Structure 1
Amino acid sequence: MKTRFIWLFGLLAVFMTMTGFVQPNIEDHAHILNKETKTLIKEKNNRYLQTKEQPQITVITVKKLKDLTPKSLNRSKRTVFIVVGQKGKKRDVQIFSSKDLHGAFTADARSNILRAEVDQLRSYNNATFNKGLRFVFRACATKVDQQYQYALDKFDLSQSEQNKISHPHRVALPIALALAFLIMGIIYMLRRFGHHSSNLRK
């Protein structure tokens, strides 16, 4: 009788997981994630379950801005955590990884991922914020896939998107050059105007 109960409970757990009642990679305590974001998280992690290593990317939202480190981080393996803290209108997004993925998710790598779509992550519009969060998730998935040498799929970043993360300074370089030329032009015009004014006074 006891064995039958355990067997039935196991079947129920599998059923709930497969039908979406239980989504172990989603903890949306702050009610931020929209349907498109949840679908991305679920489908990519389901693909990971078909691999030998079975890495996972978990997205957690909480109603606070401090102490965002996941409680299960130290005992986790092959896991990336994307944590969104929210208090009022303020939000903070942080990336954590288990020790075995520290090589792929260095401090610089995590920072570059978050900076790539910083405007979207700062948006008060939830749809825009979710778009930025999906980019962060896809960037983390790309890092995981490269770490385990998986073939990249539709959930991963394109090459141009990867360049935004790998070379963040190159993305900003054209803007910096444009500003430099603009400033030089203004200085030139001011000097020319000043020289012209002095000639008129003479």
Structure 2
Amino acid sequence: MTAFSNPYVHDNGHLLEKKTSKLIKEKNDRYLQTSEQPVIIVKTVNRVDHLTPKKLNKYKRTVFIVVGSANKKRNVQIYSSKDLHGAFTADVRGTIIRSQSNQLRSNNKKEFNRGLRFVFRACATTIDQRYQYALDKYDLSSEERAQLSHPRRLALPIALCLVIVIGGLMYFFRNNLHLKK
């Protein structure tokens, strides 16, 4: 292995920046210091379907973030080994990816990598919580975790709908009470 090789990054699609690769390597190096030694591997491939890693069921304590890219389309998927299925349920994986959907779809390499780093950090935070590791600088902040569990994008539309429904009910009951008198 050379000094520049990174066993946790397989960038066949040439999408990753050095900052992203460095984050992946540093967090995985920290995991090597633990007794469980979980691993997060990031792969980029030149297709948008059939992204499931080969021999996934043979891995232990491993999470894959697979990025498929072809014809300016991108598909990001999170896969986990069987022992981490409890932490990485379909809802958790979907929420993580949906939270960064705009950046992950971007053709701008910097914006895409910003979204991918967030996805990686969210996966690392999930692993840290699963194994009860102390959170570090590579994990999501409490504000980012709150945003992940309660996306702000939905808060305003839901609040507006509630105001409209309550206002409509108040108007309806006022008019009906005045007509009965």
**Same fold at TM > 0.5:** yes
What runs of 5+ residues in structure 1 fail to find an aligned partner?
1-12, 186-202
Q: Distance in 2 between matches of 1:32 and 1:49?
A: 26
CA displacement at 1:176 relative to structure 2: 3.4
Aligned to 2:47: 64
Alignment-mate amino acid for residue 155 of structure 2: L
Aligned residues: 168
Contact 1:95 1:110 in 2 (8 A): yes
Aligned to 1:84: 67
The match for 1:176 among 140, 145, 158 is: 158
Q: Distance in 1 between matches of 2:115 and 2:162?
A: 29
Aligned to 1:112: 95
The match for 1:28 among 8, 11, 15 is: 11
The match for 1:160 among 140, 143, 155 is: 143
Contact 1:59 1:81 in 2 (8 A): yes
Given the alignment of the two structures, is residue 142 of structure 1 paired with residue 119 of structure 2, yes or no? no
CA displacement at 1:181 relative to structure 2: 5.9
TM-superposition CA deviations, 1:27-70 (whole Å, max 9, x none): 00000000110010010000001111110000000000110000
Contact 1:65 1:85 in 2 (8 A): yes
CA displacement at 1:125 relative to structure 2: 0.6
Calculate percent identity across the aligned residue pairs. Answer: 58
Structure of greater relative contact order (alpha carbons < 8 Å, 6+ residues apart): 2
What runs of 5+ residues in structure 2 fail to find an aligned partner?
168-181
The match for 1:125 among 105, 108, 111 is: 108
Aligned to 1:199: none
RMSD between superposed Cα atoms in Å: 2.1
Query: So what's the TM-score if we normalise by structure 1?
Result: 0.77
User: 1:74 is paired with a residue of what secondary structure?
Assistant: helix
Greater radius of gyration (CA): 1
Q: Distance in 2 between matches of 1:178 and 1:119?
A: 23
Contact 1:80 1:98 in 2 (8 A): yes
TM-superposition CA deviations, 1:73-101 (whole Å, max 9, x none): 11100000000000110000000000000
Alignment-mate amino acid for residue 52 of structure 1: S
Contact 1:164 1:171 in 2 (8 A): no
TM-superposition CA deviations, 1:94-144 (whole Å, max 9, x none): 000000000000000000000111111111111100000000000000000
CA displacement at 1:173 relative to structure 2: 1.6
TM-superposition CA deviations, 1:1-43 (whole Å, max 9, x none): xxxxxxxxxxxx5xx3xx22x3111000000000110010010
